[in-house]
């Protein structure tokens, strides 16, 4: 395994990694009826992470298939795929492309990049926790991480909502994005 010491962390040597779908979850949380939360995830995505010689110059590119959104309720999933929300037929991909790494503190840092949903691109800041690097039982080099951010869905054109008789709205504006994952060395 090619691990090196960097800033007190054990990190992989430079190279290309891919998200391991068996050990990664690209999820989200949004308020429902102002009183509870709905959790969901995307079943299909691809992600490439390039670890640079200087880890602060590393990059991330992720493509998510919008039509693979799952919340555990078929009718809701269909509505989320529709033009009221993701418009998955017209906008089949959600993308994230990193621009820079900032605010390194121990094993935590901020990953700044462009998130594109429905052809609307906004800069976001993901709070990332690097969870370490190792060899899995099959001899593959891996590393683990967690990342999260919060976006205003209306800024991306996801403006559908319904007023409630008791006040408030059916679907919250803020969406928390939560990613837990592993990446496996490709090259």
Q: What is the pLDDT of residues 118-136, one digit of tens each?
A: 999 999 999 999 999 988 8
pLDDT at 7: 82
Say yes or no to pLDDT of 166 above 90: no
CA neighbor of 2 nearest in space, from 181, 107, 140, 144:
140
Rounded to 10 degrees, the C-alpha dihedral 74/77/78/79 comes to: 130
Do 26 and 4 form a contact (C-beta atoms < 8 A)?
no
Domain carrying residue 35: 3-185
Give 24-64 pLDDT, tens digit per residue.
Answer: 999 998 877 666 788 999 999 999 999 999 999 999 999 99
Place of tokens 């529709």: 82
Please report which confidence band the pLDDT of residue 170 belongs to, taking 50, 70 and 90 as the band edges: low
Give 57-86 pLDDT, tens digit per residue.
Answer: 999 999 999 999 999 999 989 999 999 999
Please report which confidence band the pLDDT of residue 169 belongs to, taking 50, 70 and 90 as the band edges: low
Q: Which residues contact 8 (CB under 8 A, 6 or more apart)?
A: 106
Lowest-pLDDT range, 9-18, 100-109, 170-179? 170-179
Pairing of strands 93-105, 45-51: unpaired
Its pTM surpasses 0.85: yes
Instruction: Indicate the number of domains in the chain.
Output: 1
Residues 16 and 59: their CA atoms lie apart, in Å, by 10
Residues in the chain: 187
The CATH number that applies at residue 42 is 2.40.128.110
Distance of CA 155 to the CA centre of its chain: 17
Which phi-psi region, left, alpha or beta, contains residue 56 (left: φ > 0; alpha: ψ -120 to 50)? alpha
Please report which confidence band the pLDDT of residue 115 belongs to, taking 50, 70 and 90 as the band edges: very high
Place of tokens 């039509």: 67
Say yes or no to pLDDT of 167 above 90: no
Residues 74 and 135: their CA atoms lie apart, in Å, by 38
Place of tokens 């919060």: 150
Percent of the chain with pLDDT over 90: 70
pLDDT at 164: 60
Please calculate the CA angle 86-63-32 and round it to the nearest 5 degrees. 35
Mean pLDDT of 172-185: 93
């Amino acid at each position: 395994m090619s691990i090196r010491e960097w800033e007190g962390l054990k990190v992989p040597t430079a190279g290309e990694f891919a998200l391991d779908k068996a050990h990664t979850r690209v999820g989200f949380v949004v308020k429902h009826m102002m009183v509870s939360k709905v959790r969901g995830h995307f079943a299909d995505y691809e992600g490439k992470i390039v670890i640079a010689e200087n880890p602060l110059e590393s990059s991330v590119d992720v493509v998510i298939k919008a039509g693979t959104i799952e919340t555990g309720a078929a009718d809701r999933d269909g509505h989320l795929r529709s033009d009221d929300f993701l418009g998955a037929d017209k906008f089949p991909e959600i993308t994230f492309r990193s621009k820079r790494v900032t605010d390194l503190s121990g094993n935590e840092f901020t990953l700044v990049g462009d998130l594109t949903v429905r052809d609307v691109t906004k800069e976001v800041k993901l709070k990332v926790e690097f969870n370490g690097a190792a060899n899995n039982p099959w001899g593959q080099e891996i590393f683990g991480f967690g990342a999260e951010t919060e976006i205003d869905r209306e800024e991306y054109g996801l403006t559908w909502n319904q007023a409630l008789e008791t006040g408030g709205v059916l679907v919250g504006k803020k969406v928390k994005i939560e990613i837990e994952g592993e990446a496996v060395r490709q090259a």
